[in-house]
Structure 1
Amino acid sequence: MAGSMESLIQQRRRLYKGSRAPSWKETYRQRCVERLKNSRARLLDRYRHVGEDTAAGEGTRSSLLVQEVMEVEWQALQSVDAKLPSLWKKDTSLHVLEDSNELAVLEEIQKELILQEQLAIEEYEQSLQFDEECLNAMLEGLDAEPKVICPVCQRNNLTMTSHVVTCTCGLCIGTQGVTEEMLRSLLADGVAEHSQHCQHSPEFSVTSGMDGETNLLMSCQICDFLAVIL
């Protein structure tokens, strides 16, 4: 949508660049565009207060700041040329100037500014939507039950049942009634004990005993630390 609006803006610029336009046209257009750009914060604040319904129509009814911007810059032109009439009628439509080409230029500038205004509002709405999606993702993460990362491969989540703990990397150890919360605590306690006297990261491995049972070991080659976690 934003891309199509920008395309329309470029088309309108080319339209009245190719026609016979009054000498003040480009200066007036640039000043209006710059004033609208610098009033972005006020535009969005007005949009938040007015709501989407007012900005949903077309033409001057949909503009929140365009009429004000054009009037201010037109008054600046009037200070140089007192013959220029007031820009707006009481019904908020553009005055019909004696030169129809001048009126066409004003209408094109007005339409371009309205498109710029709508583009700014769309970018603001997209930003709000992105922020909302990030917040929802964060809340979902907080609501989800924390998983235990496999200490051996350090990539996959462990899968635990009442009898065994497994990982897709090949880890498979009998739990003997150890719950996920208990395993998390055992791992944390082992790491904390090792870190009291060594700053290096320990390694985890699975070994098989004489009785065929497997165990999860935590070791450190730097300090020769060794502990059986499971």
Structure 2
Amino acid sequence: MEDRLPKRLPVKTHQPNWKEKLRENCFRRVKKDRASLLWKMRLQVESSTNQKEIMESAFRDIVSEELKKIKGSFLDSNVETSNSAVEDSDILWDYDGVHTSSQSAEGECEKIMLELQKIFYEDLREEPISTELGEYDGTWEDKEDDYLARAVLERMQLSDGLVCKEIWCPICKRGELRENHRSIYCTLCELQLIRGDEVNLDILQDRLAEAHTEHLDRGCRLTPKFCLESRFDITALYMQCQACKTFEIIL
């Protein structure tokens, strides 16, 4: 997505044009928060919630938050500005991300929001989503991100036909989770959970998605780890994160 950043326009003042700066900051923010947006998309696709409205709200919040940061940097700056820079920044103060008295600022922010959505969805479709885990050279965070992209796109394109789902093991990150009439297990490591009457692979997948989403919503960007622990003669899957002290049962 980095190479899709808009090219810089000629700057006539010593201070960057706020519209240009806002656009660049928003693009970088979407790239940084990509995993969080993907999880949010995936959960909304699986539910009855209007996905379009949810994602529009998410992108609008990004634009609004980045705009507030730019306002703050203007207020904190002691650098002298030219008359043209002051006139340009006047439009900025008229727009607060929700209520606006400046059609110019409102139109610019709306345009940026639409650009963010367009590029986000284009990147989602253009990625090599068929890449196999064994051939992937990136980090686990990259693999997880690729898995999310595949899961979201798969759900978006879901028709009445059956879709073959691949669920990676959260512990070893290499094996595939499968199930039989007795248990849910990993094809490569020791992960094995006894199935109950109402427990299956789909429920485990939903719980993993919910746990990741809740963890991201807390503001923590460290990838959580998963482990099996036996307590009171019951073996369960737990998620833990040293950064935010999360420790919760998944299934």
TM-score for the superposition, normalised by structure 1: 0.37
Question: Which structure has the higher relative contact order (CA within 8 Å, separation 6+)?
Answer: 2
TM-score by length of 2: 0.34
